[in-house]
C-alpha cells in the first residue's frame, strides 16, 4: 500500500544492489555445468574452508555472507549471496587471497568448481554461455562495490540509511511496507557502522516522519518525498 499523493520510485538497477547488499540469480546458466563441480551441504554458521578447498563456488540453496577484514582488523559484511550465484570467482582468477570469510547464514547447498577450470581452454570454448554470464556477473559485482564505496564517502549515517531503505523498497516493487529480512546488526555491519549508531539514525528518521517501523519483519515508509530528498543528498 502506497501513500496517497506521493509517487514512489519504480524499478531498480544493479547498482542499487550495493545499498541492500544482496545478489541473487546472477549465474543460473552454471546449473547446466554442475557436473564439473563437487556438491557439499553446510549447516548454518559454517565457515566455508575456501583456503583448503580452493575453487569457484555456486550456491544452489541457502545463503552466504561474504566478510572481509580491513587493515585495522575490523571485519565487515560486504555482500550477501543468495541462490543462483557464483562466488570466490575473483580470488580464483586472480590468485589473490585477501583476509575474508564466507559464512553460511542458513543451511546451504554449495557446488565447488576446480580452481583451474577457468584456465581450461576446452571448457571455455565449449561453454561460451557460462563464460559470458560469468563476465557479466563480475561486472555487476564491480559496479556494486564501486557504488558502495562512493556512497560511503558522502553524507551522514541517516543519508546512507535512507539510500538503503529506498533501494530495499525498489526491490520490493516500491511498496510502502515490506520485510527487511535482515537484523539491525546485519544492517549495521553492511553499512559499516555500530549498531548503536544505526539505532540513533533510525530514531531520527522516525522523529522526522520518514519511517514508522524498521524491523526484520517490517519496514514502513511514512513519507516517500522526504525519503527521496534525503537519499539524493
- pLDDT recorded at residue 183: 86
User: Quick one: pLDDT at residue 206?
Assistant: 94
How is domain 19-151 classified at the CATH fold level?
A: Jelly Rolls (2.60.120)
The CATH T-level fold of domain 156-231 is Arc Repressor Mutant, subunit A (1.10.10)
Decide if 19-151 and 156-231 have a common fold: no
CA geometry: angle 143, 223, 24, nearest 5 deg: 30
* 226 closest CA partner among 205, 212, 210: 210
| DSSP assignment letter at 29 | G
Residue 117 per-residue DSSP state: G
pTM over 0.85: no
Q: What's the CA gap between 99 and 68, in Å, rounded?
A: 6
Q: What is the pLDDT of residue 3?
A: 37
- What residue ranges do the domains of the chain occupy? 19-151, 156-231
pLDDT tens string, the chain, 233 residues long: the values are 343 334 444 444 455 555 677 789 999 999 999 999 999 999 999 999 877 778 999 999 999 999 887 666 677 788 889 999 999 998 888 877 667 889 999 999 999 999 999 999 999 999 999 999 999 999 888 887 777 666 665 557 888 888 889 888 888 888 899 998 888 888 888 887 888 999 999 999 999 999 999 998 999 999 999 998 888 87
Nearest partner of 90 among 65, 115, 53, 122, judged by Cα? 115
3-state secondary structure of 86: strand
Pair type for strands 75-81 and 22-23: parallel
The rounded radius of gyration (Å) of the Cα atoms in the chain is: 19
What are the Cα distances from residue 8, in Å, to 5, 38, 126, 202, 217?
Answer: 10, 45, 45, 20, 21
Cell of 45: 554458521
pLDDT of residue 148: 67
Amino acid at each position: 500500500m502506497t501513500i496517497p499523493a506521493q509517487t514512489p520510485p519504480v524499478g531498480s538497477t544493479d547498482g542499487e544492489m550495493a545499498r541492500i547488499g544482496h545478489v541473487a540469480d546472477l549465474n543460473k546458466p552454471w546449473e547446466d555445468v554442475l557436473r564439473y563441480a563437487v556438491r557439499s551441504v553446510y549447516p548454518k554458521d559454517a565457515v566455508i574452508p575456501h583456503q583448503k578447498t580452493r575453487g569457484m563456488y555456486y550456491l544452489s540453496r541457502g545463503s552466504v555472507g561474504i566478510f572481509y577484514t580491513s587493515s585495522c582488523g575490523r571485519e565487515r559484511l560486504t555482500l550477501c549471496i543468495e541462490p543462483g550465484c557464483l562466488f570466490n570467482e575473483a580470488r580464483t582468477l586472480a590468485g589473490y587471497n585477501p583476509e575474508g570469510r564466507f559464512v553460511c547464514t542458513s543451511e546451504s547447498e554449495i557446488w565447488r568448481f576446480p580452481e583451474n577450470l577457468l584456465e581450461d581452454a576446452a571448457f571455455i570454448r565449449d561453454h561460451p554461455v557460462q563464460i559470458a554470464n560469468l563476465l557479466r556477473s563480475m561486472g555487476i559485482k564491480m559496479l556494486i562495490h564501486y557504488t558502495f564505496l562512493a556512497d560511503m564517502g558522502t553524507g551522514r549515517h541517516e543519508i546512507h540509511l535512507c539510500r538503503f531503505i529506498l533501494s530495499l523498497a525498489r526491490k520490493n516493487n516500491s511498496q510502502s511496507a515490506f520485510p527487511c529480512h535482515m537484523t539491525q546488526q546485519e544492517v549495521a555491519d553492511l553499512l559499516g557502522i555500530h549498531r548503536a549508531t544505526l539505532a540513533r539514525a533510525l530514531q531520527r528518521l522516525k522523529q522526522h516522519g520518514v519511517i514508522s517501523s524498521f524491523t526484520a519483519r517490517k519496514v514502513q515508509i511514512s513519507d516517500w518525498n522526504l525519503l527521496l530528498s534525503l537519499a539524493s543528498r
